[in-house]
Amino acid sequence: MGEILSDALERAFPDRNVSEIDSPSESQHPWNQTYRISFSNGEQAYLKLVTDGGIRRIRRAGAVLRYLNARAEIRVPPVLSARVQSEPYYLATTALSGEPIVTRWSGVSTAKRESMLYQVGQAIANLHSVRFEESGRILGGTADNLSLEEGPWVTVLCNTIEERVRTVFSDRFKEFPNLVQQVLKEHREGLTDVPVSLLHGDPNRKNCLVQSNDSTVGLVDWEESLVGDPSFDLCRVEATQIEQPPVHDPDRLRRALRAGYRNQAGSLPEGYEKRIPLYRIVTFLKPAQTFEFWAPEADEPVPELATWIRDEMQRRITALESDN
């Protein structure tokens, strides 16, 4: 066990008998690692440990979790302890009940996927009911108040892109972040007067937990959360859960997701259909960013996948321009 991990365990879980530590899988965020901690009494917790910078990410996640546990009816893991002022930097949370959608996805029918996405839609809509006056990046905060770096939504989006790609980004597509930011700035008029809510930021299949009794979906991993247009968050759900293989009948799954959202919120976010073409360009940065993680494991040859990434990005930009 590394010295940093050992120190963090002693500080995060004093007087508790740790029986097992699950080593983390390869992280797409090289600045931290997450460990599942099992205790002798059968309970479990998660420890997110900063390994090389990235303190801002766990400070944000801890603040949002405390804020939501105190102020919203959303199923998220309570914070046990956090250390963000000096090393070792970490965030410790309870283990939220449920199973990540990603572990069920391949082995279930389209109808079951519809049911899971309907629940995800409800959970995301419930999150978006937490409203704010101004958009902004989350710097930290308490259970009573989140500290924001406020700004116009287009500025927040551009700054968020810069922060996210700083951790890792495939050299094959290194021009993409600047290209997408330029597209956003050229369409800034369409990003004014948007509704402003708390957003998860990365609602992929790993971060949405479902239970066997079909109760409320739990949401974990809040490092990329921000405050802004709920349409962007909903578009990211579609990008990470419906547009990622294996998928059959995506239109059917998309309808289920949106139906769950409408059931909870009464309607889709204001301006959703209008801004979707623009947000689809932003969300497509993710497969380009993580290309070196997933492409070598895919069935298609890597060069062909790289060509598809470039063609698809250009197709989305062309589709946006043709709509305007």
pLDDT of 25-54, one tens digit each? 655 566 688 999 999 999 999 999 987 667
Do 53 and 177 fall into the same domain? no
Encode pLDDT of 106-153 as tens digits: 889 999 999 999 999 999 999 999 999 999 999 999 999 999 999 999
Mean pLDDT over 204-223 rounds to 89
Domain encompassing residue 133: 99-323
Asked whether the beta carbons of 256 and 217 are under 8 A apart, the reply is: no
CA distance 18 to 27: 23
Say if residue 165 is in the same domain as residue 218: yes
Q: Are residues 112 and 259 in the same domain?
A: yes
- Residue that terminates a domain, selected from 50, 66, 94: 94
Contact predicate 289/165, CB 8 Å: yes
DSSP string, 160-216: HHHHHHHH---GGGTTHHHHHHHHHHHTGGGGSS---EEE-S---TTSEEE-TT--P
Q: How many residues does the chain have?
A: 324
Mean pLDDT of the chain: 92
CATH classification of the domain holding 176: 3.90.1200.10
Query: For residue 46, what is the domain's CATH number?
Result: 3.30.200.20
222 and 194 belong to one structural domain? yes
> 159 and 28: one domain?
no
Per-residue pLDDT at 170 exceeds 60: yes
**Whether residue 110 sits in one domain with residue 54:** no
Strand partners, 209: 100, 218
Backbone angles phi, psi at 256, to 5 degrees: -65, -45
Number of domains in the chain: 2
pLDDT tens for each residue of 140-169: 999 999 999 999 999 999 999 998 888 789
**Residue 53 is encoded by which pair of tokens?**
């910078």
Sequence-ordered strand ranges (E) for the chain: 18-22, 32-39, 44-50, 79-83, 90-94, 99-100, 136-141, 146-150, 197-199, 208-210, 218-219, 226-228
Mean pLDDT of 92-106: 93
- Residue 167 and residue 29 share a domain: no
- Residue 321's pLDDT is what? 86
Minimum mean pLDDT range among 12-16, 66-70, 203-207, 319-323:
319-323
Reported as a pLDDT band with limits 50, 70 and 90, residue 247 is: confident
Q: Are residues 284 and 140 in the same domain?
A: yes
Looking at the structure, tell me whether residues 56 and 113 fall in a common domain: no
Round to whole Å and give the CA distance between 268 and 233. Answer: 12
Domain boundary among 72, 94, 116: 94
Are 297 and 183 in the same domain?
Answer: yes
Same-domain status, 8 and 40: yes
Same domain, 63 and 172: no
Q: What integer pLDDT is reported at residue 30 of this predicted model?
A: 60
